[in-house]
Amino acid sequence: MESDYEHLVQHLQQDQYRTYANHLETVIKPIPDSDRTGDLDPRVFATLAMNHSDDEPDVAFNLEAARAGMGWSNQDQTTIEIATESLLIPSEDGDIRARLYRPHHTEAIPAILFFHGGGFFGGTLETIENPCKLLAERANAVVIAVDYRLAPEHAFPAGLNDCYRAFEWVHAHANELNILKDRIGVAGDSAGGNLATACCLMDQERGEHRISYQALIYPVVNLGSIPTDDFEWTLDAYDISYHHDLIRGVVLALADPDSLLNDLYLQGKTNLKHPLVSPLFADDVTGLPPTLIVTAEYDYLRLEGEAYARKLSGAGIPTRLIQYRGMDHAFIDKLGDYPQAEDCMYEIAKGIKELTK
């Protein structure tokens, strides 16, 4: 018998509507079991209510506590066996740990490098393991999760260099890995979305154009939330009809008025408008690959993600933008609890499969 969760996953794939403007397709996915707009998904509300009940007063930033508080104990939603292999990718800066997920196959198949989120200073391969396994199944692709170096121990561009080096290694070893050399994509959530599209910019800079697809899940693309001709952050852009204080708090949770990420990741050595830090400021994006950008309705990063989608589509890049209504930041961590997390992997997989048509 089909569970409520499975029913909601199916509902998300069927109940959506599309808008099309300025060469950009936007897919809106409503809350699957509620007709309300301007409200949190009931699963998000339940999670927030549970976590806020025992909140402690804010204290000074503690790096180890912040790292320990990231992630979520999510669930394996695969229906086939996915082989898992630990890798050490050689690099001049020290071997890069990675984890490879492979569905059963005999012919060469596409590959996706996945970079986890965590504000450039946190996050682990464990949190994204189940999403990566599901993506490997749904896309029929090899997925390689990269354990890049973290700030503040390793400031920009150390982590980014690890991600790009991992891509170069996978590309160079495509035959041995039994993957299609011309079907290697990159994906990531939050800070990982930043690293994914920065890898595409680096590949474009080198005149290579070897990355065939990018999937950016609620990405950081404007580290300082700096206004542009097409972007200015405002709370007024958010439709809030219920639980006003709670939702405002959720949206503003990722605001960075004290420039914490700048201090940790850049350490005052790099301009916030550097295109590999804030890709929204890239002068030229015409060589970037087909793109999927996924946003959460009640995420501080939603507006910059939408602006980046407009930038890419305006430059002629095939771009799809998906917004999950009622969701907050980091929802893919809740795979197995939030049906939107599973649907998101399905949508990334769909984009990869479309490349081979």
Q: Which of 3, 73, 91, 190 is catalytic?
A: 190
C-alpha–C-alpha distance, residues 318 and 291, integer Å: 6
Measured in whole angstroms, the distance separating CA 339 from the mean position of its chain's CA atoms is 16
For residue 289, is the peptide bond before it cis, meaning its omega torsion is within 30 degrees of 0?
A: no
CA distance 117 to 128: 9
Task: At 328, give phi and psi (nearest 5°).
Answer: -115, 180
Q: Is the peptide bond before 32 cis (omega within 30 degrees of 0)?
A: no
Burial class of 238 by CB neighbour count within 10 A (0 to 12, 13 to 18, 19+): middle
Helices (H), 140-277: 158-172, 174-177, 191-205, 244-252, 260-261
Please say whether the dihedral angle defined by the alpha carbons of residues 312, 134, 94 and 165, taken in this order, is positive or negative. Answer: negative
User: Which residues lie across from 350 on neighbouring strands?
Assistant: none
Calpha distance 66→107 (Å, rounded): 43
Please say if 3 is a catalytic residue.
no
The edge-to-edge listing of strands for the beta sheet with 17-21 is 17-21, 24-29, 319-328, 291-298, 213-217, 179-189, 109-115, 142-147, 96-103, 82-89
- Residues marked active site are found at 190
